[in-house]
Amino acid sequence: MIDHIQALHLAAGVFLLTAVGALWRRQLPAKVRLLVVQGVALAAMIGIIGAQRADLELLAVALGLGVLRAGVMPALIRRALVPLPQEQRETRPVVDVATSLLAAALLTLLAYAVTRPLVALDPTPITAVLPVAVAVVLIGFFTLTTRRRALSQMVGFLLLDNGITATAFLAAGGIPLVVEVGVSFDVLLIVLVLQMLTRRLRATVGTTDLNELRELRD
Amino acid sequence: MPTTLLLFAPIGLPLLAAVSQATGGGRRWSTAVGVATSVLLLTAAAALATEVTRSGPVEAAGGLLSADALSGWMLLVVGAVALLVFASGDRHGVRRNSRWYPIQLHLFIAAMATAVLAGNLGVLWVAVEATTIVTAFLVGHHRTRTALEAAWKYVVLCSVAIALALLGTILLYYAARHAGLSGISALDWSQLAAHAGELDPAVTRIAVGLAVLGFGAKAGLVPLHAWLPDAHSQAPAPISALMSGVLLSVALYAVLRVKLVADAALGPAYLRTLLLILALATLAVAAVLLLTQRDYKRLLAYSSMEHMGLMALGVAVGTKVAIAAVLLHIAGHGLAKTVAFLSSGHLLHQEGTSQIAQVRGLLSRAPVLGGVFGVATLALLGLPPSALFASELGLARALAADGLGWVLVVAFGLVLVAFAAIGTRTAGMLLGGPAAPVVPVDAEAPALVGAGVTAAPAGGAGSTVPAPRPRASESPSPARPARVDLPRTAAIPLVIGLIVVAVLGVTTWPLTDLLTAAATVAGGGS
């Protein structure tokens, strides 16, 4: 029987590994599957904190966020997936996969360094997991800047957002509900906007490869 | 409670207008609805500003919304620019029968009003993020390759930037909880300011740094500024005007609010250093890229970056004089840039090109349009009696008074470079000799008009602006119509806008009390 803290660490481990996995895999459907797993891990982390504090509101929030991040968002991204073999694979990334994985390792180390003041403010077993959440934020940022498929960038954006949500719950037990609802709604709309833009890109430009869009520059 | 109503009206009115545009009846009167809404918005803003100047801050919805003199000033600018945009009735470059365009336009204004009336960092964040969502399709309105590229870049960069600001907000909440605050009020401006001394300095430093970077990107500050010239040049002119005229300033307002909390918690040195670096880097990037600019809409966009850099300098200094200069600059730049972008929309429609080199001798061919565009540019360059002359003078005084002489020299050196770049190009457009030979790109424009698709042919950035679509009443020779000028109905609001900019440069009456009160809110008594 594992206790709450061990379960939390397990979920956090899955949370980080899925982010690294999304960076590693080049097949877009595989990335979306990893996003589903990450959404479940995020909901589990929030649920474990809620269970430990016997906080019903937090458990409800965990359930809601789980549905959103593991269900609705990946489904939206999947709808932007083009059923053509050449469109389902990552194009030549700006940084190749081996270097990306090395970068992910370095970013994780960086996350441990920058979160030291955050953990120091309230050193508990829960805030000890904060570096993992920040590492996912950094990996999401890295994915966004180095991947050139519209869909990969959406995945990167969601990694970034999952990391930020995890930070909120690990550090402060979540932000006020009014703001949390506003934030979740905004993120959902951003993903919808990106999904519609991807479809228009596909209709107008004929591909979702952002390397094809290089006309606006000085 | 009338004050509660005054806080809800500026948000509710544009929302109602958006609803009216969604139903069939309102759409036939979209210009009238827009003008009426913005007149009411401006009236509510004026009433609210009077109220807060006379009897101090007001709040509603349990502190989620609140207004002080600073919010009042910003709301007046939002209302004035919105009125200018609707009154000029500019529909050039907007697809006719576009159902979503007027809805998104009103939602955009509602989101900006919410941002400046937010009493709470969380609400402010949600409102600023909402502006990105509602403007995404406005930027990509033309659905061309370049418009989609601009829209994609805009959404991705701005939502990443704003995600950084969210991380900052969350960490500030974390620090606030450990300072004994809890629940939604932990993010209220008043609560944060009251408990600033108890916030953990290390966590607060990370939090406000992230928030300033994030909101700063939305204000066009480096390093996440790359969306700005693309979005401003690809969006229809009224949208460029609203984005450049007020959205950038609303984002800077968010930076200012964060700075007030940060200064109380950490002392002024930390964010002053960060903002000085961001501001000077922004000015440098803008000045260098202005020198190589060949597209007049991008020229205006980089000019906005230059002005945001200047305003960020004022925020960095943060004294009462500096903040008063920034607020005056926000108003003057908002109005003058709106007139410039609106006239650039007419220019694009009339000339069929956004290339600077292909617009020549405009002042003799179309004196009204050329005159409005020229005067707006002169106002933006900060020549007296423009409000920007007064505000830049105030900024220079504030910098000198604060012992930042070297910043003053570097910043105004860069402003001079920008001045020369914008001045020579605009002079060429207005007074220059015969046009350069028309490149084939323009010759394709009529064909595209017929096709109803404004997909631009591949080529340089300047050639990618959608071809103008002549109205049915006009002669179908869009390559270079013989003698057209700005119609009087469109010119009058623009001229009034320019007159207001000039009057603001001479006297701030009747806004002096409000400006002083707003500068005191943000700059203290110093």
Residue range B264-310, pLDDT digits in tens: 999 999 999 999 999 999 999 999 999 999 999 999 999 999 999 99
Residue of chain A with shortest Cα separation from B459: A215
Which DSSP helix (H) or strand (E) runs through B59? Answer: strand B58-60
Contact B303, B380 (CB under 8 A): yes
Q: Is residue A216 assigned to a domain?
A: no
Domain that holds residue A133: 4-209
Shortest Cα distance from B153 to chain A (angstroms)? 10
- The encoded tokens of residue B471 equal 């109205």
Which of B184, B455, B459 shows the shortest C-beta gap to A178?
B184
Q: SS3 of B366, please?
A: coil
For the entire predicted model, the pTM comes to 0.92
Q: Quick check: B442 pLDDT over 50? A: no
- Please report whether residue A138 resides in a domain: yes
Angle at B507 between CA B504 and CA B513, to 5 degrees: 100
Chain A residues within 8 Å of chain B (Cβ atoms): 114, 117-118, 120-122, 137, 141, 144, 150, 153, 157, 160-161, 164, 167-168, 171-172, 175-179, 182-183, 185-186, 189-190, 193-194, 196-197, 200-201, 204-205, 210, 213-218
Provide the 3-class DSSP secondary structure of residue B226: coil
Q: How far apart are CA B357 and CA B438, in angstroms?
A: 10
The ranges assigned to domains in chain B are 2-437+483-523
CA dihedral (B260, B265, B267, B269) positive or negative: negative
Distance CA(A105)–CA(A111), nearest Å, equals 10
| ipTM (interface predicted TM) | 0.96
Task: Give me the residues paired with residue B65 across strands.
Answer: B60, B118
Residue B141 CA, chain-centre distance (Å), reads 19
Nearest to B122 among A176, A193, A194 (CB): A176
Q: Considering only CA atoms, which of A157, A128, A216, A9 is closest in space to residue B230?
A: A216
- Roughly how many angstroms between the first and final C-alpha of chain B, as a whole number? 35
| Per-residue CA distances from B198 to B179, B262, B397 (Å) | 5, 12, 34
What pLDDT shows up at residue B25?
Answer: 61
For the stretch B205-252, pLDDT in tens is: 999 999 999 999 999 999 999 999 999 999 999 999 999 999 999 999
Binned average pLDDT, 10 residues per bin, chain A of 218 residues: 87 97 92 96 96 92 95 92 80 85 96 95 94 97 92 94 96 87 92 93 88 81
Q: Tell me if A218 is assigned to some domain.
A: no
| A contacts of B455 (beta carbons < 8 Å) | 204
Q: How confident is the model at residue B57, as a pLDDT?
A: 93
For residue B512, give the H/E element and its range.
Answer: helix B512-523
Residue A103 lies inside a defined structural domain of this protein: yes
Cα-to-chain-centroid distance, residue B357: 26
Establish if A71 belongs to a structural domain.
yes
Residue A2's pLDDT is: 72
In a domain, A217, yes or no: no
Which of B145, B149, B184 lies closest to A176 in CB terms?
B184
Residue B450 CB neighbours (<10 A): 10
As a whole number of angstroms, the distance between CA B299 and CA B295 comes to 6
Instruction: Assign B456 a pLDDT band (cuts: 50, 70, 90).
Output: very low
pLDDT for B363: 93
- The 3-state DSSP class for residue B118 equals strand
Say whether pLDDT at B337 is over 60. Answer: yes
Rg of chain B over Cα atoms, rounded to whole angstroms, equals 22
Q: Kindly state whether residue A171 falls inside one of the protein's structural domains.
A: yes
Query: Would you call A114 and B206 a contact, using CB atoms and an 8 Å cutoff?
Result: yes
In a domain, A109, yes or no: yes
Say yes or no to pLDDT of B474 above 60: no
Q: What is the pLDDT of residues B339-378, one digit of tens each?
A: 999 999 999 999 989 999 999 999 999 999 999 999 999 9
- pLDDT band at residue B395 using 50, 70 and 90 as cut-offs: very high
What is the tally of structural domains in chain A? 1
From CA B287, how far away is CA B423, in angstroms rounded? 13
**Mean pLDDT taken over chain B:** 89
